[in-house]
Structure 1
Amino acid sequence: MSTTNTMSKKFSPPGQRAFDARFEAQKIAFGPVVFQCVRHAWKRGMLQAIADAGAAGVSVEELAATGRWTPYALKLVLETCLSAGVVYLEEGRYVLDKAGFVVLTDPITQVNIDFNHDVCYQALFALDASLDAGQPLGLKVFGDWPTVYEGLAQLPEPARSSWFAFDHYYSDTSFPDILPDVFATSPRRVMDIGANTGKFTLAALGANERVTLHLVDLPGQLAVADEKLRAAGLRERATLHPTNLLDDGAALPGDMDLIWMSQFLSCFSEAAIASIFRRVAEALGPRGQVLVLDTFWDRQRYDIAAYCLINTSPYFTAIASGNSKVYESADYVRLAEAAGLRLVTTRDGIGYCHSLLRFEKA
């Protein structure tokens, strides 16, 4: 899979007619309305009831007769679903369309819907102010923290569960695939920066009995990782390093054979990433290497993946940090090279949408 030429990237079909373009623009204008109605139809069981009726479909009157919904609610919500291609109407009876089937059955679609509703929806109202200030001002809907990462342990439900489901669903699918890359150079001292709840650390310790892990993250996340490591009986091979990586003076433990960062650097601004790469380079042992696993929108084979990744970036602005995003791969390479690192290899097509960048000292 080669890097997409972002200079000529175009999501709309070639030769799009002006009338079609106007229709697409109205979909944007009413996007929030459609999102809420489709989500309601899914969560409240309307789509499942239509699916259960099969190809014969079901009328509003028959659905209302179950007592689960009023005729008013059914008409309002299902008409919006009709306009979005989630259901279709045939002789007065609603039938599930292909997009509705995806909403009902596709886990990643459901994770994305929950994340955008529970975590992003209210907070994105502050996107203008967040962009102007360079601060995640939408985060105030949940609590008073400088970034979401300090508040993860205290996020209210369902936002907390939806945040972790989104984060883990994208990252966990890649872990089995990358462990051979992790141990390709037979590292003994591995540092997991942005260790979060310790999922990668647990996978690495379980895959190799000789390796030791050094976990770097904020205290709240490391407290959860500590519990999980103890429960798995692996705590003795792990050392915790509570660290705020936004502190440019916070040094990292040294003499590392391998430094691992997964879906981590996208949490920071370019200036912060440059600082982290500098300290990472200083923490490497003589033949140490750095592995960066992340979701780069420019390295996706399919537009659907690039679309999802690009539109995750406003979350970072309004909620996560105020100044980070889903980056292009060239941004990481440029910042790593400025810190004295050299790109060795790139591997794409990992999990759903990940790429693995391997660096060493230049």
Structure 2
Amino acid sequence: MLTKSFSPARQSAFAARFEAQKIAFGPVIFQCVRYAWKRGMLQALAEAGDAGRSIEELAEGGRWSAYALKVALESCLSAGVVSLADGRYLLDKTGYCVLSDAITQVNLNFVHDVCYQGLFDLDRSLDEQRPLGLAALGDWPTVYQGLAELPEPAKASWFAFDHHYSDTSFPEILPDVFATAPKRVMDIGANTGKFSCAALGYDAGVELHLVDLPQQLAVAEATLRDAGLDGRTQLHPVDMLDGGAGFPGGMDIVWMSQFLSCFSEPVIESILARAVAALAPGGQLLILDTLWDRQRYDIAAYCLINTSPYFSALASGNSKVYQGADYIRLCEAAGLKLLTARDGIGYCHTLLRFARV
């Protein structure tokens, strides 16, 4: 297990105070950098190259006022996104990341379009363990009932965030999923059906059982139908919060991808108990997830830890990005034993393989 350290061991009091101000003004910096990116200011500086551009030159075309340029670019300067030399702004390395790095852009859009307004109610959400910030997007008990109806651009940004992290891992883990030659695979938390499509395409003989809320299964069904793969699938609408709602049995593999983080530990216990009951003799349970304590780099752990408040304020009110040790403990309590743990999949995924004790 990796131990994460996000700051220098010996930080001066002055440096610590500066870091504290970065936290205090973090939302301001976020909005200014995003504005400079979305409005094309950063692109204009990129095109200027090492020559850079002055405020006067940037304002000449009338695309931005000198006032807007000064406010946005001075904030970007304080964040290291741009540099300033002899009255000319240049794009710095962090600015190039904002402008060209896909995962940075996905994260920026997700935080702004999905999370930003709802996080205003994070304090009440944490106190009451209810997603009170979700009201900024719609009237649902959790975000999962409303995914298909999210307003734009929140909907596009939510799915881009979810798929950007998960899609990179699917090609890599399919040999793991089919290592035991399963004939019946259950995808719990099927979402849009992307994994099911990948699995059906990988093995022409496998039968897929998709388990999710009715709203999500409708989306998954359309995905499978469009791909011509709906002939080997069965859909099972289940509300995971209903502990009495069982899963279909006789499964060689029970698969969960970026799923358990949507629930509190008591609900995870209930889901795992039902998943164990659904396993055929010799069947295995596979969990693919983003576990912040099993990351090689601090940058990945940082992103994952700071996704947890989204779960608190908007998703469910009582779930988070978990540590690997949490899942192992809960699975062992459900009567499972860990067989293997493989880290470094895709951007930041870990695959945990369990069997009945």
Give the structure-1-normalised TM-score.
0.98
Sequence identity (%): 71
Q: For residue 244 of structure 2, what is the aligned residue in structure 1?
A: 249
- Partner deviation per Cα, 1:115-138 (whole Å, 9 max, x = no partner): 000000000000011011110000
Report the 3-state secondary structure (helix = DSSP H, G, I; strand = E; otherwise coil) of the residue aligned with 2:83.
strand
Q: For residue 60 of structure 2, what is the aligned residue in structure 1?
A: 65
In structure 2, C-alpha distance between the alignment counterparts of 1:197 and 1:132, rounded to whole Å = 32
Answering whether residue 286 of structure 2 is matched by residue 277 of structure 1, we say no
- Partner deviation per Cα, 1:177-202 (whole Å, 9 max, x = no partner): 00000000000000000000000000
Q: For residue 16 of structure 1, what is the aligned residue in structure 2?
A: 11
Q: For residue 109 of structure 2, what is the aligned residue in structure 1?
A: 114
Report the 3-state secondary structure (helix = DSSP H, G, I; strand = E; otherwise coil) of the residue aligned with 1:257.
strand
Q: 8 Å contact 2:143–2:315 — kept in the other structure?
A: yes
Cα shift at 1:329: 0.4
Report the 3-state secondary structure (helix = DSSP H, G, I; strand = E; otherwise coil) of the residue aligned with 1:346.
strand
State the superposition RMSD in angstroms: 0.5
Q: For residue 41 of structure 1, what is the aligned residue in structure 2?
A: 36
Match of 2:86 among 85, 91, 107: 91
Q: For residue 300 of structure 2, what is the aligned residue in structure 1?
A: 305
Q: What letter is aligned with 1:282?
A: A
Match of 2:21 among 19, 23, 26: 26
Q: How does 1:105-184 map to 2 (within 5 A)?
A: 105-184=100-179
Answering whether residue 76 of structure 2 is matched by residue 81 of structure 1, we say yes
Q: What letter is aligned with 1:141?
A: A
Q: For residue 200 of structure 2, what is the aligned residue in structure 1?
A: 205
Cα shift at 1:232: 1.0
Q: For residue 318 of structure 2, what is the aligned residue in structure 1?
A: 323
Q: What letter is aligned with 2:2?
A: T
> 4+ residue runs of structure 1 moved beyond 2 angstroms?
none
Cα shift at 1:359: 0.3
Cα shift at 1:10: 2.6
Q: What letter is aligned with 1:4?
A: L
Q: What letter is aligned with 2:82?
A: V
Q: 8 Å contact 2:210–2:235 — kept in the other structure?
A: yes
Report the 3-state secondary structure (helix = DSSP H, G, I; strand = E; otherwise coil) of the residue aligned with 1:95.
strand
In structure 2, C-alpha distance between the alignment counterparts of 1:281 and 1:243, rounded to whole Å = 16
In structure 1, C-alpha distance between the alignment counterparts of 2:208 and 2:235, rounded to whole Å = 9
In structure 2, C-alpha distance between the alignment counterparts of 1:207 and 1:121, rounded to whole Å = 39
Give the structure-2-normalised TM-score.
0.99
Unaligned runs of 5+ in 2: none
In structure 2, C-alpha distance between the alignment counterparts of 1:244 and 1:256, rounded to whole Å = 19
In structure 1, C-alpha distance between the alignment counterparts of 2:326 and 2:227, rounded to whole Å = 37
Q: How does 1:344-359 map to 2 (within 5 A)?
A: 344-359=339-354
Q: For residue 103 of structure 1, what is the aligned residue in structure 2?
A: 98
- Partner deviation per Cα, 1:21-66 (whole Å, 9 max, x = no partner): 0000000000000000000000000000011000010000000001
Report the 3-state secondary structure (helix = DSSP H, G, I; strand = E; otherwise coil) of the residue aligned with 2:224.
helix
In structure 2, C-alpha distance between the alignment counterparts of 1:286 and 1:38, rounded to whole Å = 55
In structure 2, C-alpha distance between the alignment counterparts of 1:131 and 1:358, rounded to whole Å = 32
